[in-house]
C-alpha cells in the first residue's frame, strides 16, 4: 500500500529531481523521494545501533566511537 502526500520543495531541489527523472536515474519523482527517505531511515538505524554498541563498550574503533558520540543525539539539520 502507498499513501500520496504533498511536499513543498525549493525550486533547485525540484530541478534536481526532474533531472534525475529525465536522465533515467529514477522512473518518477516519487521513486527518488522514497529512495532518499529509505536511505535516511537506514542511516538513522545504523547510527542508533552504533550508539547502543558504543554505550555497551562494544565499539573499540576510535573513528566509530566519534561518529556514535557525534550522531547519538543530533537532530537532522535544516
Residue ranges in 1-78 assigned as alpha helix (H): 11-22, 29-55, 62-71
- pLDDT tens-digit series, residues 36-67: 999 999 988 888 888 788 788 887 777 877 77
Q: What is the DSSP letter of 23?
A: T
Cα–Cα dist 58/36, whole Å: 30
Report DSSP state, residue 38: H
The pLDDT, as a whole number, for residue 73 is 58
Spans of all domains in the chain: 11-71
Distance CA 78, CA 59 (A): 30
pLDDT greater than 70 at residue 74: no
Mean pLDDT of the chain: 86
**pLDDT of 20 above 90:** yes
- Give pLDDT, residue 78: 47
Predicted structure pTM score: 0.70
Amino acid at each position: 500500500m502507498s499513501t500520496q502526500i504533498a511536499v513543498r520543495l525549493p525550486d533547485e531541489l525540484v530541478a534536481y529531481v526532474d533531472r534525475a527523472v529525465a536522465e533515467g536515474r529514477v522512473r518518477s519523482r516519487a521513486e527518488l523521494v522514497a529512495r532518499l527517505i529509505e536511505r535516511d531511515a537506514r542511516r538513522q538505524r545504523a547510527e542508533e545501533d552504533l550508539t547502543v554498541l558504543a554505550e555497551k563498550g562494544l565499539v573499540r574503533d576510535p573513528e566509530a566511537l566519534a561518529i556514535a558520540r557525534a550522531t547519538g543525539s543530533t537532530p537532522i539539520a535544516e
